[in-house]
Copies of this chain bind each other. A is one copy, B any other.
Amino acid sequence: MIEPHLMKLRARDMVSADEEKEIRGLVSHTINVPRDRTFIRAGQDLRESMLLLDGWMARAKDLESGQRQLTELHVGGDFVDLHGFTLKVLDHDVVSITDCVVAAVPHERLVAMTERFPHLTRLYWSMTNMDAAIQREWTLSLGRRTAIARMAQLFCELLVRLRVAGLTSSDSYHFPLTQIELAECLGLTSVHVNRTLQELRRLKLIEVRDWRVDILDLDALQRVAEFDPTYLYLEKRPR
């Protein structure tokens, strides 16, 4: 069940047998979360961090008007609130997009890890920094990219991230977001998302239907997005 997570780590650095054992020992229990729930609420005191084993979740921030912005999407293998380990409280909600299976990691075990496994600590530190890098790319999208480039960017990013976790088949993947949720990622309205999706289809770059993304022309899609996967830190290096 935590294989996608180990794959994700091992794409970035070596994980020794001892470290793998430590990681496996971090988890205390698993939780099933139905779709469309606010799983972690902003401001709530945290005593454990949550490793997403299966399903999709998102980080969400709201305005009073009810307008919502998703700031990151999470898939199997992602820690959805590892940053909560040091922050103790989140500034955003974590919501489930689909039914999910989640593993709880008590903070005291993470404290123990920082005391006995400095290298593993640095590796997990780097994972939260990679999350920040993803958010930075989204910031660039929202600030400077057009609707179509923003959307292309997101579909490129997800292809790479899902591939790292072993969750794709060629240039195609399961994509469970409604157009409303997609709009909340992209800072658009669902109406405009609908039209932009049609535009991408018309250009024969991508096909989205039946909760599935099929990328028809990856090169062209990346050009539209000005996609450069550097920010996903796929290189294996000592951290």
Copies of this chain, tallied across the complex:
2
A228 to nearest B CB, angstroms? 9
Name the B residues within 8 Å of A122 (CB-CB): 85-86, 111, 114
B87 touches A137 (CB 8 A): no
Verify if A201 is at the interface (C-beta below 8 Å from B). Answer: no
What DSSP secondary structure best describes chain A's contact surface?
helix
Chain A residues 13-53 with CB under 8 Å of chain B are: 42-43
Name the B residues within 8 Å of A68 (CB-CB): 144
Report how far A239 CA is from B121 CA in the complex, Å: 14
Residue of B at shortest CB range from A231?
B91
As a 0/1 sequence over residues 100 to 129 of chain A, the CB contacts with chain B under 8 angstroms (1 = contact) are 000000000001001100100111011011
Residues of A within 8 A of B (CB): 42-43, 59, 61, 63-64, 67-69, 71, 83, 85-89, 91-92, 111, 114-115, 118, 121-123, 125-126, 128-133, 135-140, 142-145, 186-187, 226, 230-231, 233, 235, 237, 239
